[in-house]
Amino acid sequence: MAKRAAEKTRLTRKDYEARVPRLREQLVQLQVRLKELPCPVLLVIAGVEGSGKGEVINTLHSWLDPRGVEVFAFHPPTEEERERPLMWRYWRSLPPRGRIGIYAGSWYTEVLREAMQPRAKKAGFHHALQRIEHFERTLAADGALIVKCWLHLSREAQGRRLRELEDDARTAWRVTPDDWESHRRYARLAALTATMQRATRRPGAPWHVIDATDERSRNLAVATTLLARFQEHQRRLRQATARPERRRPVTPLRPSGRRLLLDLPLDQKLSAAAYELKRDKWLGRLNAAVRRAAAKHRSIVFVFEGWDAAGKGGAIRRLTSAIDARDCRVIPVSKPTDEEKSHHYLWRFWRHVPRAGMVTIYDRSWYGRVLVERLEGFARDDEWRRAYTEINDFEAQLTERGIIVVKFWLHISKDEQLRRFRHREETEYKRHKINAEDWRNRRKWAAYEIAVGDMLALTQQPPAPWHLVPANDKRHARLQVLKLATRRIEAALGLR
Amino acid sequence: MAKRAAEKTRLTRKDYEARVPRLREQLVQLQVRLKELPCPVLLVIAGVEGSGKGEVINTLHSWLDPRGVEVFAFHPPTEEERERPLMWRYWRSLPPRGRIGIYAGSWYTEVLREAMQPRAKKAGFHHALQRIEHFERTLAADGALIVKCWLHLSREAQGRRLRELEDDARTAWRVTPDDWESHRRYARLAALTATMQRATRRPGAPWHVIDATDERSRNLAVATTLLARFQEHQRRLRQATARPERRRPVTPLRPSGRRLLLDLPLDQKLSAAAYELKRDKWLGRLNAAVRRAAAKHRSIVFVFEGWDAAGKGGAIRRLTSAIDARDCRVIPVSKPTDEEKSHHYLWRFWRHVPRAGMVTIYDRSWYGRVLVERLEGFARDDEWRRAYTEINDFEAQLTERGIIVVKFWLHISKDEQLRRFRHREETEYKRHKINAEDWRNRRKWAAYEIAVGDMLALTQQPPAPWHLVPANDKRHARLQVLKLATRRIEAALGLR
């Protein structure tokens, strides 16, 4: 029965070859149009063993212009990859806008392989699927076209295919004992696959189950699926960009956050003598804490946000003086480079996630999305609104992997900022630190207050809490940063 | 005696602290000025065990603005690094223009460690030093400031320092058995170091030997050396940019190269039937050769250069159809991104050097330096002139690491190009492939002929030879590419 069904869909070589030239033309046209569209294409080719994932990919690759395509196959994670969150290697591999990434198996391979292990936990599987679902949702929301094909074979067809491959001297090497093992456990994998597809199927990223019994039909089905999804996507993108956005006044999403800011007492002061005494004590303790973290292969991510001239640079210098410079990296975040601009806004931060035991200090960060990008209109309304969730998800991935995340908001009053701006303008070697943009931002103080408040309220989560630091007095602020950093690291290590 | 000498140079804490504030100010000013200068700074801190490399780096890091500095410490190479040429990890780590990279030990650590091994070969040591010397010369010629400090301790002073560190409970952990081993073999290391310094000391990259007996003097000496070298460098760069360049007519360096081009017969033709028959045979043989290479962990780098419309894209498509898409990457080379522009021109190509067993196809390449950059004046005279050597050196590093390098020049006549340009303009789906720049380049045909000739003559080297492919007939050209690629790979594997 199964065999007959398969034969029914079999496509003759003649019919196949008659259809290929037109398809190839359409695919190359897709690539030409893609260059003008601000989106990347992710084509996932997953499926059961023997379904011909490699063949499909090679065929597609030969049909497309290979200069606009990159194929990714993920082998077991390397050392560098294992030291980062699960999704790090996938974020790194994302194609820039205008290009196509073809994923052999993709992020699904590893997850299914794990779940097939004898002692695999159900909860772990579901959690990993949730991560993937977030990942794809994040990319799709940013305009990426995600086309996921699952190449399906019945158990019988799979057995037949594996035997065929084995019987041919040219292909016998491709059949491994793992393939037969996977065949024996067909039912188990089918159940897991069903769960997986249910959990990761959504409007922006549906699953296309493709019958792989007949190779030619399979190839055509994948190509036509890609073309159809691209056309639909193109239409949707055009509609989205056609609708111009009305600039709205800045109103708080969560007034509680802004109140936190306004209520922060700013009148603490510290004498030079008291500061120096305490500073050395805390520098020593911080140094010990950082070394303990490294010994346990825990990395640390510091995030510094704050008003212009709030003293981020000075605080970072004091902090780094307690850390071995060889283990520590400061990432100054200003305008994205053009490579960064051609990716999702989180990509540039994923790039710098530290290896095990290392420290990364972000001087400004992904929070730019809900601050400057919100207020300057660099991000659309829906973009910055969903960024809170995306950011929480990003940080959750860091903390889950054991990375200690410490976030600071350095707070000064509007008057104090004015004093510091003037001081910078009057001081020869500080003049480079102040420009017209700073004055422009200052005029938007009230709007920033609202955006900062929303940020504090909406991204305040237990494993990656915000530390509000009163910074009108520089010495007080610097000491606070040292103290809070030390205590957070100690707490994360279970030391106090 | 040694002790007394040490005490003589000892700096009191008071004197030290009196000098630090001014130094810090100068260092930060250096960083401010550096942002306007088009050059990176590489500060190498090497030296004997116990000389305090880590302390110096931490001190400097705390004096500088950490946002413009990155510190690199190289641990034993990771898997990904071992699969590339020796210098790959160092190329990857280079700071962009305007920033400072501080190197703990740097590329010298690994080389000295290797040379200290019981069975180390003298020739290997000298070869590695030569590589380093080329590396530094290449960067210095491009405007990089390279400051190399060697922290020196006499044998007695080293023993004393190690004992001091051991006796203090806070620092005892820093002394390892390796340190004492290195102390016992002080004389051997000193001899190797002398050889190393002689081999890698040159005008753009001298060694500064710094007495590390007194910690405070040592810190000041490193900082003042950096400042002095920066000032001198600044002057030199200003002079270099002050001298405007006279555009000279394009004259051949090596007329023999151009004759090669002119003598190439372009009248070969291949019928569709003959092509298809032979193509399949060669595709199969190429596929087998590529798989054999992968099995031996040999990577392959293809370079495609040729006239506009010579058929590079088509040839690459035929080539990739014989290679598993999962092992193969096509790098289309057009305008550099801004990250690429802020590095040495070879950096963007080093980035994509393949892992063991993988294939990278460069669609245009580093040869742009001696073609378009030479003719359009994007590179200065001295820049493109020295590029031949730099390119030969780069390719030698690839082939030494076992990478098979296959270079093609696709050659067509001027008339044939005209026919193809017109055809592109008339064909709807090919129109995107032709623009005003193509027509502009065409008007410089004669100049390009000279530049291509020089390139062929000056970068024709045994392990990475050029293949000239007559490409007036597309089928003939594509088959030639398949044949030549296959034969090169087979020869490199010792198969024929």
CB pair distance less than 8 Å for B330 and A54 = no
CA distance A259 to A36: 45
The answer on B184 and B64 residing in a single domain is: yes
pLDDT in tens, chain B (496 residues): 344 444 456 899 999 999 999 999 999 999 999 988 879 999 999 999 999 999 999 999 989 988 899 999 988 888 889 999 999 999 999 999 999 999 998 999 999 999 999 898 999 999 999 999 999 999 999 999 999 999 999 999 999 999 999 998 877 877 888 899 999 999 999 999 999 999 999 988 999 999 999 999 999 999 999 999 999 999 988 887 666 566 778 999 999 999 999 999 999 999 999 999 999 999 999 999 999 999 999 999 999 999 999 999 999 999 998 998 889 999 999 889 989 999 999 999 999 999 999 999 999 999 999 999 999 999 999 999 999 999 999 999 999 999 999 999 999 999 999 999 999 888 776 777 888 989 999 999 999 999 999 999 999 988 899 999 999 999 999 999 999 999 999 999 998 7
The 10s digit of each residue's pLDDT in A353-362 is 999 999 999 9
Residue at a domain's end among B195, B210, B241:
B241
pLDDT confidence band for A204 (50 / 70 / 90): confident
* A79 contacts in chain B (CB < 8 Å): 78-79
Q: Which residues are CB-neighbours of B127 under 8 A, at least 6 positions away?
A: none
Q: Residue A43's beta-bridge partner residues?
A: A102, A147
* A29 contacts in chain B (CB < 8 Å): 429
Q: What is the ipTM of this complex?
A: 0.82
CA distance A256 to chain B (A): 33
Query: Is the overall model pTM greater than 0.80, yes or no?
Result: yes
Smallest Cβ–Cβ distance between A29 and the set B67, B73, B429 belongs to B429
Question: What angle (nearest 5°) sits at the alpha carbon of residue B472, between those of residues B471 and B477?
Answer: 30
CB pair distance less than 8 Å for A332 and B67 = yes
The answer on B368 and B276 residing in a single domain is: yes
The answer on B167 and B303 residing in a single domain is: no
Q: Residue B249: inside a domain, yes or no?
A: no
The answer on B281 and B235 residing in a single domain is: no
pLDDT confidence band for A4 (50 / 70 / 90): very low
Nearest CA in chain A to B60: A325
b/e A13-40 (16+ beta carbons within 10 angstroms → b): eeeeeebeeebeebbbebbeebeebebb
**Pick from B486, B83, B80, B496: nearest CA to B291:** B486
Using the 8-state DSSP alphabet, how is residue A370 labeled? Answer: G
The answer on A337 and A208 residing in a single domain is: no
Helix crossing, B186-199 with B177-184: angle to 10°? 80
Domains of chain A: total: 2
Q: Which two tokens stand for residue B68?
A: 């413009």
CB pair distance less than 8 Å for B326 and A432 = no
**Pick from A119, A52, A44: nearest CA to A74:** A44
Nearest CA in chain A to B312: A67
pLDDT attached to residue B6: 45
Lowest model confidence (mean pLDDT) among A143-147, A201-205, B356-360 = A201-205
Q: Residue B191: inside a domain, yes or no?
A: yes
Q: Residue B314: inside a domain, yes or no?
A: yes
CB pair distance less than 8 Å for B326 and A62 = no
Q: Residue B247: inside a domain, yes or no?
A: no
Question: What angle (nearest 5°) sits at the alpha carbon of residue A383, between those of residues A379 and A386?
Answer: 140
More confident residue, A253 or B431: A253
* Segment holding B51, helix H or strand E: none
Q: Which two tokens stand for residue A233?
A: 């996507």
Q: Is B17 on the interface with A (CB under 8 A)?
A: no
The answer on A259 and A143 residing in a single domain is: no
CA distance B226 to B26: 10
Residue at a domain's end among A187, A211, A240:
A240
CA distance B161 to chain A (A): 20
Q: Which two tokens stand for residue B307?
A: 């006239």
Q: Residue A446: inside a domain, yes or no?
A: yes
CB pair distance less than 8 Å for B58 and A324 = yes
* A434 contacts in chain B (CB < 8 Å): none
CA distance B437 to B422: 14
The answer on B394 and B279 residing in a single domain is: yes
pLDDT attached to residue A241: 67
Domain residues for B441? 255-492
Mutation choice for A interface testing from B36, B45, B67, B80 by most A CBs within 10 A: B67
Chain A, residues 143-202, CB within 8 A of chain B, namely none
Q: Is B334 on the interface with A (CB under 8 A)?
A: no
* B70 contacts in chain A (CB < 8 Å): 329-330
Mutation choice for B interface testing from A25, A326, A343 by most B CBs within 10 A: A326
pLDDT attached to residue A244: 60
Q: Is the pLDDT of residue A245 over 80?
A: no
* A324 contacts in chain B (CB < 8 Å): 54, 58
**Pick from A139, A118, A135, A119: nearest CA to A127:** A135
Nearest CA in chain A to B53: A326
The answer on A424 and A275 residing in a single domain is: yes
The mean pLDDT value for A219-236 works out to: 96
Q: Which two tokens stand for residue B56?
A: 């110096």
Using the 8-state DSSP alphabet, how is residue B311 labeled? Answer: S
CB pair distance less than 8 Å for B332 and A61 = no
Q: Is A17 on the interface with B (CB under 8 A)?
A: no
Residue at a domain's end among A177, A211, A240:
A240
CA distance B222 to B229: 11
Q: Residue A248: inside a domain, yes or no?
A: no
Q: Is the pLDDT of residue A170 over 80?
A: no
Rg (CA), chain B: 27
Q: Residue A250: inside a domain, yes or no?
A: no
The answer on A329 and A468 residing in a single domain is: yes
Mean pLDDT score of chain A, rounded to an integer? 92
CA distance A32 to chain B (A): 8
Type of residue at A4: R
The answer on A357 and A466 residing in a single domain is: yes
Q: Is B100 on the interface with A (CB under 8 A)?
A: no
The answer on A273 and A200 residing in a single domain is: no
Q: Is the pLDDT of residue A38 over 90?
A: no
Smallest Cβ–Cβ distance between A330 and the set B28, B29, B67 belongs to B67
Q: Residue B248: inside a domain, yes or no?
A: no
Q: Is the pLDDT of residue A6 over 50?
A: no
Mutation choice for A interface testing from B92, B326, B360, B429 by most A CBs within 10 A: B326
Q: Is the pLDDT of residue A5 over 60?
A: no
Smallest Cβ–Cβ distance between B66 and the set A35, A320, A432 belongs to A320
CA B458 to chain centre: 19
Type of residue at B183: H
Q: Are A326 and A296 in contact (CB under 8 A)?
A: no
* B58 contacts in chain A (CB < 8 Å): 321, 324-325
**Pick from B442, B424, B441: nearest CA to B433:** B424
* A316 contacts in chain B (CB < 8 Å): 66-67
Q: Residue B464's beta-bridge partner residues?
A: B461
Distance (Å) of CA A286 to CA A111, A153, A290: 38, 57, 6
Lowest model confidence (mean pLDDT) among A10-14, A76-80, B134-138, B316-320 = A76-80
b/e A186-217 (16+ beta carbons within 10 angstroms → b): beebeebbeebbeebeeebbebbebbbbbbbb
Nearest CA in chain A to B71: A326
The answer on A230 and A259 residing in a single domain is: no
Q: Is the pLDDT of residue A248 over 90?
A: no
CA distance B439 to chain A (A): 21
CATH number of the structural domain spanning residue B34: 3.40.50.300
Q: Is A330 on the interface with B (CB under 8 A)?
A: yes
Q: Is B283 on the interface with A (CB under 8 A)?
A: no
Long-range contacts of B232-239 (CB under 8 A, 24+ apart): B233/B39, B233/B145, B234/B33, B234/B37, B237/B37, B237/B38, B237/B39, B237/B143
